[in-house]
Each structure stands twice: as C-alpha cells, then as structure tokens.
C-alpha cells in the first residue's frame, strides 16, 4: 500500500496522519515545548478528533529531538494564586487524557520534565531516544507534580525511586528509564520517532475494538486507587500556590537566579 501522509497546521502543534497513525508534534521550540493552556487545548482537541476518526487506530505524541517538553509553562503559573489555580482548567487537561480511547504512544527525546513527563506517563507507551532525560523537577520551584506525576511515577518505577525523583529531582537517563520500566524501548536519536510510528502502525493494524478495550482493561489495573490519589495530589499542588516559596521559586526561574527558600 502506498504511504498516505497528510498534515495540518495549528498554533502550538503540528498534526500529521500517516496511514492509520495520527502524529502530534509539540511545536513551541523557543520554550522547550513548555505546555501552556492553548497547547494542551489543541492537543486534547486533536486527540478527541482522532478518537472519532475510524481511519486512525493509534496516535504518537512527540516533541523535538532536543525536548519532548520541559514541563508546564512556568511563566503562565508564576504569579497565580491558589484560587486562580483551582479555577483554571489547566490541570484538567492531564486528567482528560484518561478518557482518550485509542492508544497513545509518546516518542520522547531530550528533556522530558515536569508536566511534560506527566504527559508521557499519561500515554500508554513510551519510546525513548538515547538522549531522553526524564524527571519531575517541580521541587526546584517550590511545588510538587500536579498532572498525575506522583501517582503514575510511583506506579511506574516503585516507591523508592519515585521518592528520589519527586523529592530530590533525580533525573533518569533513557537506559535507566528502560531498566526501571518507565519506557517500552530505547532507540538512537535518528530512529526513535520512526520506531514509535512503526509500533503505532502495528497496533493500528490490529482489531480496533479489542485494542481499545485492551487499553481500558490495562488502565483499570491502575485506576482502583488512582482517582483518590490524583484528587489529593491536586489539592496539595494547588495549596502550594499559597506559599511564598512557590512565588520565589518561579520568580527566581524567570529571573535566571538561584531561589532563596524561606520555608513558608
Ligand atoms: C516556561 C520554559 C520552561 C518551562 C524552559 N523554558 N522550560 N518556559 N516553562 N517549563 C524556556 C526558558 O525560560 C527559555 O526561555 C527557553 O525555554 C530555553 O530554556 P533554557 O533554560 O535557556 O535552556 P537550557 O539551558 O538548555 O535548559 C533546558 C532545561 C531548563 C533544563 C529544560 O529550561 C529547565 O530546567 N526548565 C524548567 C524545567 C522545569 O522546572 N519543569 C517543571 C515545570 S513545573 P527564554 O525566553 O529565556 O529564552 C510543571 C508543573 C506540572 O511542569 C504541573 C501539572 C501539569
């Protein structure tokens, strides 16, 4: 069969279709693919559109070779109050990924941090390039992960390592991520995306309803205690926006200086 490829332009993402695989590329290179509300809105809209499209069976989300995503957009959140954070639909985007019925594979190269790592963790599989670096560096900003990271990272790599990642900004190389079960496979930087698309094409070629129900069933294994954990995480994440350290941490990042922690 001849390769059928089409592409569509959005503001923050590039969308392609290659036969039965939908490909979404995060496209904010000047901000290391930081995830702001418009980017997440576009991403979710396209994932939902793909879910309704019988011509597609599996999706790949990718970034650039340098950065899958450096996390939630710090500049968008830096001055937010706890009330503004609770009112903002921003964190809901990560929750809504749970309701995408077709499988989603993250093709990750370079930085995969914070909300970007949580986006990859919310996908069903991860194919990493040898240069991929995974981490939850929120602690450096005086906050904790808020897009499911504490819950999904603990389930993916176990409590001991998750504690180091969340409390002490431990970063994982691609090989470590493979060893600890965070990613499915590692490939050279010039072929990780092709590997991910091939995996997606294989899955997209399988029985569509069985694939969707298989995804639902596997996810159910992690769902039982997940919802309560996510709710708690959200409450604590939002509460941190009432601390001076959150303001200091994010302001220091924007001003490119070391943060001066007050513990209050
Ligand atoms: C906004 C960001 C950003 C982010 C990078 N940039 N990460 N902008 N939000 N998360 C911007 C920088 O400000 C800079 O813009 C440009 O991208 C290039 O980044 P540099 O720092 O100059 O690049 P480099 O020295 O190569 O370092 C790359 C990096 C570093 C290691 C990824 O940028 C970094 O540590 N970023 C922050 C990572 C982080 O803390 N993520 C967690 C965010 S909180 P200018 O304009 O200066 O050129 C989070 C909470 C999740 O994700 C909550 C739930 C979803």
Render 6-17 in DSSP notation, one character per residue: EEEE-SSEEEEE
pLDDT digit string, tens, across residues 58-112: 999 999 999 999 999 999 999 999 999 888 888 999 999 999 999 999 999 999 9
Tell me if 94 CB under 6 Å of ligand 1.
yes
- Among 223, 43, 222, which residue's Cα sits nearest to residue 115? 43
Residue 2's pLDDT is what? 58
Residue 224's pLDDT is what? 63
Residue 110's pLDDT is what? 98
Tell me if 97 CB under 6 Å of ligand 1.
no
Total residue length of the chain = 264
In the annotation, is 248 catalytic? no
Tell me if 233 CB under 6 Å of ligand 1.
no
- Taking the C-alpha atoms of 172, 230, 36 and 9 in order, what is their torsion angle to the nearest 10 degrees? 90
Q: Which of 22, 57, 110, 115 is catalytic?
A: 115
| CA of residue 146 to ligand 1 center, whole Å | 16
Beta strands per DSSP E along 165-248: 172-173, 185-187
Which residues neighbour 148 within 8 Å (Cβ) at sequence distance 6 or greater? Answer: 94, 95, 118, 121, 122, 230, 233
Residue 200's pLDDT is what? 98
Which of 30, 64, 74, when mutated, tests ligand 1's pocket best, judged by the most ligand atoms within 8 Å of its CB?
74
Tell me the pLDDT of the chain averaged across its residues: 92
Residue 217: φ, ψ to 5°: -65, -45
| CA of residue 164 to ligand 1 center, whole Å | 21
Tell me if 42 CB under 6 Å of ligand 1.
no
% pLDDT > 70, the chain? 97
Question: Do residues 215 and 103 touch, judged by C-beta distance below 8 A?
Answer: yes
Residue 74: φ, ψ to 5°: -65, -35
| CA of residue 253 to ligand 1 center, whole Å | 8
In the annotation, is 149 catalytic? no
In the annotation, is 72 catalytic? yes
Question: Do residues 145 and 234 touch, judged by C-beta distance below 8 A?
Answer: no
Q: What residue ranges of the chain have pLDDT lower than 70?
A: 1-3, 223-224, 229, 263
Smallest CA separation from ligand 1 atom 25, residue: 32
In the annotation, is 142 catalytic? no
């Amino acid at each position: 069969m001849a390769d059928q490829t089409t592409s569509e332009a959005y503001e923050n993402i590039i969308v392609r279709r290659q036969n039965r695989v939908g490909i979404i590329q995060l496209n904010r290179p000047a901000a290391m693919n930081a995830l702001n509300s418009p980017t997440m809105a576009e991403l979710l809209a396209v994932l939902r559109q793909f879910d309704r499209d019988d011509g597609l069976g599996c999706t790949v989300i990718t970034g650039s070779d340098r950065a899958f995503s450096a996390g939630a957009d710090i500049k968008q959140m830096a001055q937010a109050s706890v009330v503004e954070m609770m009112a903002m639909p921003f964190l809901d985007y990560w929750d809504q990924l749970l309701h995408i019925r077709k499988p989603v594979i993250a093709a990750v190269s370079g930085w995969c941090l914070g909300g970007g790592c949580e986006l990859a963790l919310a996908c069903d599989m991860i194919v990493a390039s040898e240069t991929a670096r995974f981490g939850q560096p929120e602690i450096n900003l005086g906050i904790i992960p808020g897009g499911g990271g504490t819950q999904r990272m603990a389930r993916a790599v176990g409590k001991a390592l998750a504690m180091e990642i969340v409390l002490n900004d431990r970063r994982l190389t691609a090989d470590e991520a493979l060893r600890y079960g965070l990613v499915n496979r590692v490939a050279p930087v010039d072929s990780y995306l092709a590997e991910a698309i091939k995996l997606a094409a294989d899955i997209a070629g399988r029985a569509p309803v069985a694939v969707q129900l298989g995804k639902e069933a596997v996810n159910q294994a992690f769902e039982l205690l997940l919802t309560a954990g996510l709710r708690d995480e959200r409450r604590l994440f939002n509460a941190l926006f009432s601390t001076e350290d959150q303001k200091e941490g994010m302001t220091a990042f924007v001003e490119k200086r070391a943060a001066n922690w007050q513990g209050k």
